Amino acid sequence: MTGIRLTIAAVLLACLPLHAAVAAKPPPLPPLTDPPTGIALPGKFVWADLFTSDYDRSRDFYVELFGLEWRPLKAPPEPYGLFYLDGVPVAGLVYRKAPDGNETYGRWIHYLSVPDVAAGEALLLSRGGRQVIPRQSYPQRGEFAIVAGPDGALVGLMRSSSGDPGDYRAETGDFIWRELFTANVAESAQLYADLCRCLAYPRDDAPGRYLLASQDYLRAAISPLEDPVDTAPGWLGYVRVADVAAISRRALELGGQVVLAPTAEFAGGTLAIIRDPAGGYLGLMAWDYIDAEEGEQ
């Protein structure tokens, strides 16, 4: 996981439909940082879980697509496992029966570090949100909950017991960025600023869009839905890749779909959006970090 320095432009992207979900109770979870640091970074997205009814196919899809290592943690009937990149866990996979009992289901949930999970739940509820998974505590992971904002967008809230992963440059195959698409951009920006006690400010280069920042890093973007009637609000996570076009083609070969074809929409990088075989949406981003002082990548 990583932040992007405040001097770097955020992503502009068209909206996509995301399906609503009610998540299942998770299995015992490992710590976010090992060894523990005890350092919290409120405002940073620190974890992601894919909830899916097609567990095996989703596992194989992402292992093949990004070259990840797979480690199962809990056996069926409610299996859970982790995707690893270079020995570091980057995301979890949770079995979740399709809400309607028939269609294949997949949904990524992204977890935001907050100072206090209980206070975060209360804040969201006071502003028209709702609980999806009420606050839970695990000795190694800490406290977390999954909630829906007043716009219906699902997000995880987390207070790690071991500390949050530090700010470092995302490797290829790791998450690099998150973006919320919503019809209520300004209201959502204020809500998340209050939720994580971080900064939210309008973008000078893109009217109607906001950025979230904490600890002098950009953390996420909040952008308007292009079609609020036919599309649902939701958080989209982006994985850093070396070649967006190549990964998009590979996603097709593995049974996925390309929702947004590779496009250059921000300075120095390209992006795309894919849909995995179970229906989970994921962004792809090619981004070169450049040292502002030395001009090195």
Spell out the domain ranges in the chain: 42-286
**Model confidence over 74-127: pLDDT tens digits?**
888 889 999 999 999 999 999 988 877 667 889 999 999 999 999 999 999 999
Measured CA to CA in angstroms, residue 88 lies from 34, 35, 68 at distances of: 9, 12, 10
Element (H, E) at 244: helix 244-253
- CATH code of 42-286, in short, is 3.10.180.10
Q: What is the pLDDT of residue 297?
A: 40
Residue 114's Cβ-side half-sphere holds a number of Cα atoms within 13 Å equal to 28
Better-scored residue on pLDDT, 9 or 3: 3
Tell me the pLDDT of the chain averaged across its residues.
86
* CA pseudo-torsion sign 158, 27, 284, 237: negative
**32-41 mean pLDDT:** 92
Q: What is the pLDDT of residue 138?
A: 87
Of the pLDDT bands very low, low, confident and very high (cuts 50, 70, 90), residue 263 is: confident
Prior bond of 35 cis (ω within 30°): yes
Determine the 3-state secondary structure of 246 from DSSP. helix
Residue 207 DSSP code:
T
Contact 132, 76 (CB under 8 A): no
Q: What is the pLDDT of residue 158?
A: 97
